[in-house]
Structure 1
Amino acid sequence: MHRVPQLTTPWASRDLQRAWEKTYQNHRKKVQNAQPLVDTRPPQTYSHLHLKFKKLKMEEERLSIIDRNNYLLLQRVASAMKTGRRIDGQNNFTWRRS
């Protein structure tokens, strides 16, 4: 064990002893007057854990692609309706007897 250095002057040790006693008594007073404290608040929530911006961006891009495809399909249906329902692939096959 380490030895505590001994002071050469007795008045210095007396003053130090008083200072230590005063500090210890202040500490004991604080410990006796301490009030119980229980934190009943819920833990702090962070928005970046609940809002997933990457997922929202991917969903937005997917919906924009679907909207674009729906618009193109609507244009095709509208042009087919305007042309009067013609048959696109007509077969000009003539029957021949052998």
Structure 2
Amino acid sequence: MHRRYIPYSPVTCVLLKQRWDNVVFKSHRKKVRAAKAVIDNKTPREYRHVIIKLKKHQYEAEREEVINRDNQDLYRKMDHIMRTGGRTDHKNTSLCYSKRNKK
């Protein structure tokens, strides 16, 4: 077995050199297996204030309030029209009406 092993440095006993090299190699492999990653490749922390986006919720709530207020105004106007019969005047009171009638 020692005839096939060729050490890198000159030695007197090839069998001892082979055993020492094996011990060194095994300890090296053990260190490599136990080594921890130097680069942090974990996902970054997720912060609650970034995920929840409170300002967006505030804008949506304000927008819903405006929409509900406008809907209530429209409902009141439609109710008034339904109660009074929905009569409207057909007079054109625009500023250009008199000029158009002259022609």
Name the TM tier (shorter chain). 0.3 to 0.5
Q: TM-score, normalised by structure 2?
A: 0.46
Q: TM-score, normalised by structure 1?
A: 0.48
Q: Relative contact order (C-alpha < 8 Å, sep 6+): which is higher?
A: 2
